[in-house]
Chain A
Amino acid sequence: MKVTTSLALLVCLLAGECLAAGPTPQKPNPGEELFQAAQVSGHYGGQLTIGGRAEPKTFNPVIAADAVSREMIGRLMADLIEINRGSQQTEPALTKSWKTSADGRVFTLQLRKGIRFSDGHPFDADDVLFSFAVYMDENVDSPQRDLLIIDGKPLTVTKIDQFTVRFTLPRAYAAAERLFDGLAMLPRHLLEKPYRQGKFVQSWSLNASTNEVAGLGPFRLKRYVPGERVVLERNPYYWKVDSHNDRLPYLDELTFLFVGTEDAQVMRFEAGATNMISRLSAENYSLLNRERNRTGAQLSDLGPSLEYNFVVFNQNDLSSKKLDAIARKQKWFRDLKFRQAISAAIDRDAIVRLVYGTRGTALWGNVGPGNKLWVNTAIPHPQASPATARQLLKSAGFSWNPSGQLLDSSGALVEFSIITSSSNTQRMKMATLLQDDLSHLGMQVHIVPLEFRALVDRVFQSFDYDAAIMGLGGGDADPNPEMNVWTTKGTSHLWHLNEAQPETAWEGEIDRLMQQQMVTIDYTKRKQLYDRVQQLISENLPFIFLATPNVLAAADSRVGNFHPAILDPYTLWNADELYIRRPTENAGVR
């Protein structure tokens, strides 16, 4: 009886194991032009769970706009050319190789032959043409569409043969190959019908069945449990192999658990419910670091991120709005000496120590030291100096009353509020430090924590604020994504949105320089142009830069090939290479 029970249990366990394991990876075929990751090794099997802040909104890569959906979709889909998050350089993905014409306008891409979508259907140039037709369709209204329209004209895509595609840009565009990163190739055989019927936007919603969704990424959709998790399983036809010619990915399953806040993610990680955390705050990093000897967790401090935190003063045109109190204060906000005084008074080193626990870097410009290719190292880094700040304010006509309060030239008290996101504890702390620094100048600063959406609404729509602490950047190291911040007509030109014409000479010069760098192919010349942009920004202070946090990530001791990067997605960019170590293996040993 006992033997029968034990056997039954064993059968159940084995059946459970087989059900949990992903599909068996296909042996590479001679006709397949696979990408060989020469340095990568690991072994098959295992499940990796990662905690996420929220649920995805869609599985459709063309309409996904939120970071959570895009992170998940990025594991299901693949691009023609990818930015290697480790090296920050472009590398072939679904494209085997590409050629650029001498004028930088024509790109001829050679696609990999013999590769298949996760449902086994072959991939060729027709899928590329279909994908770009969808991305550029106005009715679909993809967030990526703007990238493909240059000077108001769309790029054209031509099929040369079954595995060759030509892209022609309306004019030369620097680092154009980086545009292909993030443009997932779609399966025409699955999506053409709904597209022709005008139902593309509804396709691949969260209600879609798993066999409706197929891509060229390392994983495919296995299960979505609303409010709880998304489970991905191995794509058995994936187009990358490791150094032993074994088809990637190693993991059987990749699970995204909807956990909520970063604190909740840390608690789940400590409890062993998740294997990895993509982005940690300095406080939580220190917490995990203290327990490192006991847990054996792998913690990575990758140095300064590409994100920049800053204070922006409201210099928008308020003539059409009933915001007289703010309009009066704009006299100060538009005064360069006032902004310079604020910048001089800020103790950035204290921000790095008290907000980031020294795991951050002070900033004086929009490009931090994390962006080694583009940072202008000649930008000065003056230390905090209340005396300089007072001098600047004095020369701008400000004065102090007997109780030490700052008055402007008309005798009005200098008092303003700083809004910031209540859910971002780091920026809340920065605001408190700033409030203290500026109180030494006699300024009365009030901190107003706001829910993030309310904050965005005030900064982008109603302009009902004095100053705000915000953060930008972190997407790509290249200057092009920064166009919308620094050019006058940019949608994130926060200090003065909807500016018809540059109102200052330096804004006009930045407009010219940014346009020029965008069409300059040579890196050295582009760098010179962008250096000048950085110089103008640091001299004129449309934003007063504060600090950038280090990119901090964690994985438990069992995760192999854990190589987080400073670009988003920080830990899952090489999800195809991650594997679960066997209990007998030590960290770093295959």
Chain B
Amino acid sequence: MRTKTAILIAALAALHLALLCAAFIAPYDPVAQNRELPYAPPTRLHLHDAAGWHLRLFVYRWTLGDEGYLEDKSESFPVHLLTTGSSYEFLGIFDTTRHLFGVAPPASIALFGTDGFGRDEFSRVLYGGQISVAAGIAATLIALLAGALCGVIAGYYGNWTDQSLMAGTELFLSLPWLYFLLGVRAFLPLHVSPVRTFFLLTCVIGLIGWARPARLVRGIVLSSRTRNYVLAARSFGASDLHVIREHILPEILGVLMTQATVLVPRYIAAEVTLSFFGLGVNEPVASWGNMLSTLQQYSVLVSYAWLLAPVGALIITSVIYALLADVVQSRLEFPHPGN
């Protein structure tokens, strides 16, 4: 169990680190167009050519002919590590042009192929992941914070507070959220900057999602407040804040953690859905959803399989989170001795 947990946490950390360092790992600027290479298939990495085997990976240039893309084998281009490329700000700290890998122009290395504008799909998946995963995490935090607050208040104080807050959760649970968001978007100004769109997206997803955690938390608080140690603390004159902080919150932390691992992938999927329908961040900024929106075209869907790369990224992220949710839940239900 411990090994599984460690592997999952390591995988999750690696995923988030990769997204955090997207600019360094990505060989290209995600909005840079290479108009000579629209819908180019993934670049093939080679170790072997007519001269024999090589120790260093190399690539050939794609040339576009009547038969589609073909490798121009007249010249090979070695893959360099820590090479220079487009300028970016590393983690918002300093400017650099150093990238993890790359090839010298005029060749290019597009591990996941290119989109209709010749933009590197690999770079866009990394940068797009920043938006999609950050939106998922931020929305989860908002939902859990709002949910925990309402759940604790409703469960602890009961009576009319409980009834009115739970009526609120029912209202939110019954909302058809996609249509609700379509409505919200219609009231927004014509142009909304990507930053503001991101902020709005996370707020809206988070605020719609608070109801379910609130009900869960309320249930736990409801049962906790009648426990002997809580009653004892209150009889000794402990304030509500003290009781909640010292006795109730530790009870709900486990539920919140499980909920977090469940909600993050769900909210990432929500962001992807919204951007897919054009309600999220717009071109040229990449997000997994708006990258997938080009697949709404039948011809693109059946012709360029590599454009499904964001789906792969979404599945990997969701699976890691889902497995982690399982582990967290089982550890809470069957605590290991000594934990």
Chain A residues with CB under 8 Å of chain B are 263-264, 266-267, 281, 283-284, 286-287, 347, 350, 353-354, 417, 419, 422, 425, 429, 431-433, 435-436, 446-449, 464-465
Residue pair B299, A266 in contact (C-beta under 8 Å): yes
Chain B residues with CB under 8 Å of chain A are 31, 33, 35, 38, 116-118, 190-191, 193, 278, 282-284, 297-300, 302-303
Pick 14 A–B contacts, CB within 8 A, sort by A. Answer: A263-B298, A281-B299, A287-B303, A353-B35, A353-B38, A354-B117, A417-B190, A422-B278, A436-B31, A447-B282, A447-B283, A448-B191, A449-B282, A464-B190
Residues of A near B302 (CB, < 8 A) are 287
Partner of B284, one of A350, A354, A435: A435
Main SS of chain B's interface residues? loop
Distance of A353 Cα from B284 Cα, bound (Å): 19
A-B contact count (CB 8 A): 60
Residue pair B298, A284 in contact (C-beta under 8 Å): yes
Residue pair A284, B284 in contact (C-beta under 8 Å): no
Distance of A42 Cα from B118 Cα, bound (Å): 47
Beta-carbon nearest neighbor of A351 in chain B: B35
> What is the CB-to-nearest-CB distance from A577 to chain B, in angstroms, rounded to a whole number?
30
Residue pair A283, B190 in contact (C-beta under 8 Å): no
Residue pair A263, B283 in contact (C-beta under 8 Å): no
Main SS of chain A's interface residues? helix
> What is the CB-to-nearest-CB distance from B300 to chain A, in angstroms, rounded to a whole number?
7
Beta-carbon nearest neighbor of B36 in chain A: A353
> What is the CB-to-nearest-CB distance from B54 to chain A, in angstroms, rounded to a whole number?
35
Residues of A near B278 (CB, < 8 A) are 422, 449
Distance of A264 Cα from B31 Cα, bound (Å): 31
Residues of B near A353 (CB, < 8 A) are 35, 38
Q: With A419-B190, A436-B33 given, is the CB distance from A287 to B299 under 8 Å? A: yes
Residue pair B190, A435 in contact (C-beta under 8 Å): no
Residue pair A354, B116 in contact (C-beta under 8 Å): yes
Residues of A near B35 (CB, < 8 A) are 347, 350, 353-354
Distance of A243 Cα from B193 Cα, bound (Å): 65
Distance of A422 Cα from B35 Cα, bound (Å): 23
Given contacts A287-B303, A429-B116, A436-B33, 13 further A-B contacts (CB under 8 A): A267-B298, A284-B298, A286-B303, A350-B35, A353-B38, A354-B117, A422-B278, A431-B283, A435-B283, A436-B31, A448-B191, A449-B282, A464-B190
Distance of A350 Cα from B118 Cα, bound (Å): 11
Residue pair B190, A465 in contact (C-beta under 8 Å): yes
> What is the CB-to-nearest-CB distance from A385 to chain B, in angstroms, rounded to a whole number?
16
Distance of A435 Cα from B33 Cα, bound (Å): 11
Residues of B near A429 (CB, < 8 A) are 116-117
Partner of A266, one of B38, B298, B300: B298
Distance of A264 Cα from B298 Cα, bound (Å): 8
Residues of B near A422 (CB, < 8 A) are 278
Distance of A440 Cα from B118 Cα, bound (Å): 17
Residue pair B38, A354 in contact (C-beta under 8 Å): yes
> What is the CB-to-nearest-CB distance from B82 to chain A, in angstroms, rounded to a whole number?
27
Distance of A448 Cα from B278 Cα, bound (Å): 9
Residue pair A283, B282 in contact (C-beta under 8 Å): no
Distance of A16 Cα from B35 Cα, bound (Å): 56
> What is the CB-to-nearest-CB distance from B121 to chain A, in angstroms, rounded to a whole number?
15
> What is the CB-to-nearest-CB distance from A328 to chain B, in angstroms, rounded to a whole number?
15
Q: With A347-B35, A435-B283 given, is the CB distance from A263 to B190 under 8 Å? A: no
Distance of A432 Cα from B35 Cα, bound (Å): 12
Residue pair B117, A432 in contact (C-beta under 8 Å): yes
> What is the CB-to-nearest-CB distance from B35 to chain A, in angstroms, rounded to a whole number?
5
> What is the CB-to-nearest-CB distance from B136 to chain A, in angstroms, rounded to a whole number?
24
Partner of A432, one of B190, B191, B283, B300: B283
Beta-carbon nearest neighbor of B118 in chain A: A354
Distance of A350 Cα from B297 Cα, bound (Å): 20
> What is the CB-to-nearest-CB distance from B192 to chain A, in angstroms, rounded to a whole number?
9
Distance of A194 Cα from B32 Cα, bound (Å): 64
Distance of A284 Cα from B297 Cα, bound (Å): 9
Residues of B near A446 (CB, < 8 A) are 191, 193, 282
Residues of B near A286 (CB, < 8 A) are 299, 303
Residues of A near B298 (CB, < 8 A) are 263-264, 266-267, 284, 287
Distance of A277 Cα from B190 Cα, bound (Å): 36
Distance of A281 Cα from B303 Cα, bound (Å): 15
Partner of A263, one of B31, B193, B284, B297: B297
Residues of A near B117 (CB, < 8 A) are 354, 429, 432-433, 436
Q: With A432-B117, A433-B117, A435-B283 given, is the CB distance from A425 to B191 under 8 Å? A: no
Q: With A353-B38, A354-B117, A432-B283 given, is the CB distance from A417 to B191 under 8 Å? A: yes
Residues of A near B191 (CB, < 8 A) are 417, 446, 448
Q: With A435-B284, A449-B278, A464-B190 given, is the CB distance from A283 to B297 under 8 Å? A: yes
Distance of A417 Cα from B118 Cα, bound (Å): 23
> What is the CB-to-nearest-CB distance from B96 to chain A, in angstroms, rounded to a whole number?
18
> What is the CB-to-nearest-CB distance from B200 to chain A, in angstroms, rounded to a whole number?
15
Beta-carbon nearest neighbor of B38 in chain A: A354
Distance of A350 Cα from B36 Cα, bound (Å): 9
Beta-carbon nearest neighbor of B294 in chain A: A425
> What is the CB-to-nearest-CB distance from A553 to chain B, in angstroms, rounded to a whole number?
16
